[in-house]
Amino acid sequence: MLESLHLKNVGPAPEMKMDLAPRLNLITGDNGLGKSFLLDVAWWALTRKWPQDLNANLTSGYAARPTLAGQKATIKFEVESKTGRVNYESSYVPDEQSWLGKSGRPWNPGLVIYALADGGFAVWDPARNYWKTKGNLDIQDRVPAYVFSAKEVWDGLRVIIDDKSTPVSNGLVADWASWIREDSDDARRMASVLALLTPTSGNETLKPGAKFARLSVNDARDIPTIRMGYSQEVPILYASLGVRRITALSYMLSWAWREHLIASKQVEQAPSSRVVMLFDEIEAHLHPRWQRAVVPALLKVIQALTDDAGASVQLIAATHSPLVLASMEPLFDFNKDAWFDIDLEDRMVVLRKRPFVRLGEVGNWLTSEAFDLAEPRSLEGERAVCAAQNILNAKDPTLKSIHETDQQLREAGLPDIDPFWVRWDYFLQQANEADGHGER
């Protein structure tokens, strides 16, 4: 588990500090203010590797660079590891173009899974990526982590180990097909993760189809299918972006856990009961109904996957979705969860922990500190309503200005059902009556 991060002279702000909560950590903020960057740094603190350094096919996950050259840049963090708390400060070494590492055996934070925004995934497995002991020596002769580009999640990943290109994953298409054919626990695990991650209203959970499909006479692959609500079994490669996002996530979770179980047996260790999930743009490609289901489902999915009610999961997720925040209202626990918000203030990026408040209707989240909209409306609607609010608050507005504002509201396309009309119509009527016009 990641307990804290403290960055100086690196990233978009001169300084960023996060005291993380043990269960859910949501990060909000406008485009370009550092949410993905913080997730990359969190992954690095937990695993000591930058995703891009392990797989150049990724479109993100680059090593952090100091902001101002010639000044000290530091990343300080606390990680709760299997053997206790690690408190570490790493500085950037310009000579070596890298962050100073801690010598000796690294820490074991549990299974770490990072879902990148571009569809890539990274997995750090304590049974497969942890350093090995030989006599009194700690030797890292294992793969440092598994980093998949979006394409490799589907087609498989090969990693150079001992100068040999070794397949570490066969990819979703081949693995899922073989799990289904074998009617194995893996197939059941994948199906239950898929069902958990899809909304439960109606009977719309995503289910694997009964048959495989061929895409063409030249393609020898048996492609698993997914059963859609319109009674078709769609080859998974043809499925929509949202369906593929959830299927890829279900596969990566199932693959990571399956391989962790196998490796734990091989190295004669108990499987980890701690999982850290980093998730960028957690709502990416998802319909609102799915957006509001995804975080609560992810909190449950690890227990289902590990079949261990005592398993602990820490989720650190960046989001642009008011529905994701609203979905936390019934579950938010001040002892276990936290919300971080990044703002631009006086041309400076500021990260702070916000007190989580329950706001009810999802539109209220749009106008909250999380998303900072003045009005949960179109830009034109916002301008017109803001101008009307100013008139409502003005001391003695002229009838002309009131009528102009009324016209602006109408031109902005504010619909008849907009609740603002109730207040405005009353005000307009009063103004007209005071002026002797009667009806508007």
Query: Of 10-18, 145-153, 189-197, 411-419, which part binds ligand ATP (CB under 6 A)?
Result: 10-18
11 and 29 in contact (C-beta within 8 Å)?
A: no
Size of the chain in residues: 440
Which residues bind to Mg ion, rule: CB under 5 A? 35-36
Query: Of 9-17, 107-115, 137-145, 426-434, which part binds ligand ATP (CB under 6 A)?
Result: 9-17
User: 192, exposed or middle or buried, with CB in 10 Å at 0-12, 13-18, 19+?
Assistant: middle
From the list 19, 32, 423, 440, which residue makes contact with ligand ATP (rule: CB under 6 A)?
A: 32
Distance separating alpha carbons of residues 101 and 20, to the nearest angstrom? 22
Query: Of 57-65, 68-76, 211-219, 382-390, which part binds ligand ATP (CB under 6 A)?
Result: 57-65
Largest pairwise CA distance in the chain: 97
Smallest gap from Cβ 421 to Mg ion, in A, equals 38
Lateral strand order in the sheet of 98-99:
15-19, 2-8, 74-81, 84-93, 98-99
Termini Cα distance of the chain = 62
From the list 36, 169, 319, 405, which residue makes contact with ligand ATP (rule: CB under 6 A)?
A: 36
Give 193's contacts (C-beta < 8 A, 6+ positions apart): 250, 253, 254, 301, 304, 305
How is 145-193 classified by DSSP, letter by letter?
A: -EEE-HHHHHH-EEEEETTEEEEEE-HHHHHHHHHHHHT-HHHHHHHHH
If one asks whether residue 208 binds ligand ATP (CB under 6 A), the answer comes out as no
CB closer to ligand ATP out of 35 and 189: 35
Q: Which does 188 bind (CB under 5 to 8 A by kind): Mg ion, ligand ATP, none?
A: none
**Residue ranges in 65-124 that form contacts with ligand ATP under rule CB under 6 A:** 65
Containing 375, the helix (H) or strand (E) segment is: none
Neighbouring CB atoms inside 10 A of 403's CB total: 15
If one asks whether residue 34 binds ligand ATP (CB under 6 A), the answer comes out as yes
CB closer to ligand ATP out of 34 and 119: 34
Query: Of 7-15, 184-192, 196-204, 296-304, which part binds ligand ATP (CB under 6 A)?
Result: 7-15
Q: What is the DSSP letter of 334?
A: T
| Tokens (6 digits) for 44 | 């690095």
CB closer to Mg ion out of 36 and 149: 36
| Tokens (6 digits) for 366 | 């749009």
Query: Of 14-22, 31-39, 388-396, 399-407, which part binds ligand ATP (CB under 6 A)?
Result: 31-39
Q: Which does 11 bind (CB under 5 to 8 A by kind): Mg ion, ligand ATP, none?
A: ligand ATP
Strands 225-227 and 233-235, by their bridges, are: antiparallel
If one asks whether residue 49 binds ligand ATP (CB under 6 A), the answer comes out as no
Q: Which does 31 bind (CB under 5 to 8 A by kind): ligand ATP, Mg ion, none?
A: ligand ATP
Q: Which does 62 bind (CB under 5 to 8 A by kind): Mg ion, ligand ATP, none?
A: ligand ATP
Smallest gap from Cβ 7 to ligand ATP, in A, equals 9
Distance separating alpha carbons of residues 290 and 199, to the nearest angstrom? 6
Sites of contact with ligand ATP (CB under 6 A): 10-12, 29, 31-37, 62-65
